[in-house]
Copies of this chain bind each other. A is one copy, B any other.
């Protein structure tokens, strides 16, 4: 990658691949095709096949770290990222770890994401406030993706609480856009499952890029999400699908050996649906 910062690298991948699709690399070995089941490197091998099948169609890959941590497979996460560098050097990697802790500890988490794994961007949780984000934000050439309005049903419980006429997620969006973004490296997580909130946050944050989970397995409507969340120029969105792509080929007996072709097909369809919505 020759571009100097995450925003530029992401924009280049979006342009080169005509795509706002991000493939979430959330491996679940119990769903893998039989051929992978006995390999000690099954997670890496599965991811490699997905990367091979989709790298020319996406603007980013997003491994969700819990899927590796639960299985003591940090080495296979590192190998997956190394493989993306080799196979698709123009496609940035967003490490989805939703970290959040006091400053001295946040420094360690930032090192985990950027030093250990060499990710281009990381997701973080805003609950602890600015000083918990600062150790991430100072990596000016990385993307810092702050949870704002998440895609799950329970998001309402705290994120929708109203403070002097504004909801908590609206305040988070404004603080990030106006105060946290001095280096221009902030993004926001906004779920596709909440199109009205996507539109609201777009209106409050100008051209800021959103990472949008919730299409596919979580049921978000692609057309509605894109039209609600996009910038005036039809961009500003990184639309993630994990299960909807990885396991697109699953039949009653699970995935077969054609899973990668099915993943490619699902990625092509999602890219086309997004592009139709934004033009």
Task: Give A108-144 as 1s and 0s: 1 = Cβ < 8 Å from B's Cβ atoms.
Answer: 1101100110000000011111111000000000000
Q: Are A129 and B158 in contact (CB under 8 A)?
A: yes
- Please tell me if the beta carbons of A69 and B108 are within 8 angstroms of each other in the complex: yes
- Contacts A69-B112, A112-B70, A161-B171; is A129 near B101 (CB within 8 Å)? no
Copies per complex? 2
- Segment of A145-153, A254-262, A264-272 in the binding face: A145-153
- Shortest Cβ distance from A46 into chain B, in angstroms? 16
Cα separation A101 to B67 with both chains bound (whole Å): 12
B116 touches A128 (CB 8 A): no
Indicate if the CB atoms of B147 and A128 lie closer than 8 Å.
yes
Please tell me if A102 contacts chain B, counting CB pairs below 8 Å: yes
A159 at the interface (CB under 8 A from B): yes
Partner of A168, one of B26, B64, B158: B158
Assess A128 versus B111: contact at CB under 8 Å? Given A72-B116, A101-B66, A150-B102.
no
A105 CB contact (under 8 Å) in B66, B108, B163: B66
Closest to A131 in B: B154
- CA of A112 to CA of B72 in the docked complex: distance in angstroms? 8
What is the CB-to-nearest-CB distance from A35 to chain B, in angstroms, rounded to a whole number? 23
Contact call B132/A158, Cβ cutoff below 8 A: no
A163: B residues at CB distance < 8 A: 161-163, 168
A168-B161 contact, Cβ under 8 Å, with A132-B152, A151-B102, A154-B130: yes
**Nearest CB on B from A12, distance (A):** 29
Q: Is the CB of A154 within 8 A of B128?
A: yes
For the complex, what is the distance from the CA of A128 to the CA of B105, rounded to whole Å? Answer: 21
